[in-house]
Amino acid sequence: MILPPAVRLSFFIAARLRPLAVLGLALLSVPLGACEKTLRWDDDPPFSMQLPDGSVGGLYVELNREVLEHLGCSVRMVKLPWARALKELELGRLDVLPGAFRKPEREAYAYFSGTVLPPSRNILFVRRDLPARDSLHELADLPRNDFRLGAQIDVSYGEPFRQLMSDPDYAARVFFNASRSNLWHMVDKGRIDGIIADEHSGQYELQQLGLASSIEPTKVVVSAESAEVAFSKRTQDEDFVQRYAQTLKALVDEGEDRRILQRYVSN
């Protein structure tokens, strides 16, 4: 039987469209886990840490994991020290690196989300009973008050600290230690008067060490820079980064970052 031209045309179109329909169904059936991203963490509470139950949590971990899940991606956590994390990002073996500061040399191999989270402030912490506490308004006041400062080795505290350390007489009196925990105990015992620490990390660590009643933050803000989320250019594209930033901003606008932080640091 010879079919009319119009009928033959409809069969032809249906035959051509059937593979596309099958392909569409196949794409819809792809599990969310098909998009897997590696997310960096390390022992840096309250931003990232291993929790008592063995899982990994913290502000950066939970917030960025939530963003990835909103975008339909599963997350594989990778524990890396900072310097190694930057190298893995450059090589394309790490996809997402939260808490990164934008620098020209990093922009060669990484996309950046833009500043979405509030600035992370470095604060001067001192003993509550320090007599000179009320006379401290900026870092430059420390030498005039014979303030005994403690600082971590190989940690950058910003331009005010660099200016302070340009005074060789005062720099010679600053006590350096690799462990911030050791520095907190030195403040508590009166061996030094105070240290510089991230405001959230400092409050968390003082609570964990049981020293929150004897050491407190001052109003001296040493630095306040906004960190971003970095993405490997080898594995990500600008469209994904843009969608990531939009999703992150929406969560921050809803206060999700503050809700997460309150679980780790009580004010």
Strand partners, 112: 230
The reply to whether 220 and 127 lie within a common domain is yes
| Band of pLDDT at residue 225, cut at 50, 70 and 90 | confident
Residue 230, pLDDT above cutoff 50: yes
27 part of a folded domain: no
Mark whether 237 and 210 lie in a shared domain.
no
Q: 206 is in which domain, residue-wise?
A: 120-224
Does the pLDDT value for residue 257 go beyond 90? yes
The amino acid at 145: N
Q: What is the mean pLDDT of residues 198-206?
A: 90
On whether residue 21 sits in a domain, the answer given is: no
Residue 155: pLDDT band by 50, 70, 90 thresholds? confident
Answer yes or no: do 125 and 212 share one domain: yes
Bridge partner residues of 253 (DSSP): none
Do 150 and 217 belong together in one domain? Answer: yes
Is 38 in a helix, a strand, or coil?
A: strand
Is residue 24, in this structure, part of any structural domain at all? Answer: no
Question: What confidence tier does 266 reach under pLDDT thresholds 50, 70, 90?
Answer: low
pLDDT computed for residue 209 by the predictor: 93
pLDDT value of residue 11: 42
Flag whether pLDDT at 241 surpasses 80: yes
174 and 134 in a common domain? yes
Same domain, 212 and 252: no
> Does residue 31 register a pLDDT over 80?
no
The pLDDT of residue 55 is 95
Give the C-alpha separation, 264 to 259, whole Å: 9
pLDDT tens digit sequence for 163-201: 999 999 999 999 999 888 899 999 999 999 999 998 888
Asked whether residue 237 is domain-assigned, the answer is: yes
Domain membership flag for residue 13 = no
pLDDT in tens, 35-44: 999 999 998 8
DSSP 8-state class, residue 57: E
Is residue 161 a part of any domain in this protein? yes
pLDDT of residue 23: 33
Q: Rounded to whole angstroms, how far apart are CA atoms 167 and 165? A: 5
Between 33 and 160, name the one with better pLDDT.
160
Of 3-7, 144-148, 250-254, the one with minimum mean pLDDT is: 3-7
CB 205 within 8 A of CB 197: yes
Confidence of residue 137 (pLDDT cuts 50, 70, 90): very high
Q: 18 versus 154: which is more confidently predicted? A: 154
CA angle 131, 133, 134 (to 5 degrees): 105
Q: How far apart are CA 140 and CA 30, in angstroms?
A: 59
Total domains present in the chain? 2
Which of 32, 101, 27, 16 lies closest to 68 in space, CA to CA? 32
How far apart CA 188 and CA 204 sit, in angstroms, is 16
Place of tokens 């020290």: 81
In this prediction, residue 19 has a pLDDT band, given cuts at 50, 70 and 90, of: very low
For the cut 50, the answer to whether the pLDDT of residue 12 exceeds it is: no
Same domain for 57 and 177, yes or no, is no
Residue 148 included in any domain? yes
Percent of the chain predicted with pLDDT > 70: 86
Average pLDDT over residues 235-264: 95
Lookup: tokens for 34: 């098909």
Residues 182 and 220 in one domain: yes
Give the number of C-alpha atoms closer than 13 A to the C-alpha of residue 23, restricted to the C-beta side.
Answer: 5
pLDDT at residue number 103: 87
pLDDT band at 33 (very low <50, low <70, confident <90, very high): very low
Residue 179 has a pLDDT of: 86
CATH code of residue 175: 3.40.190.10
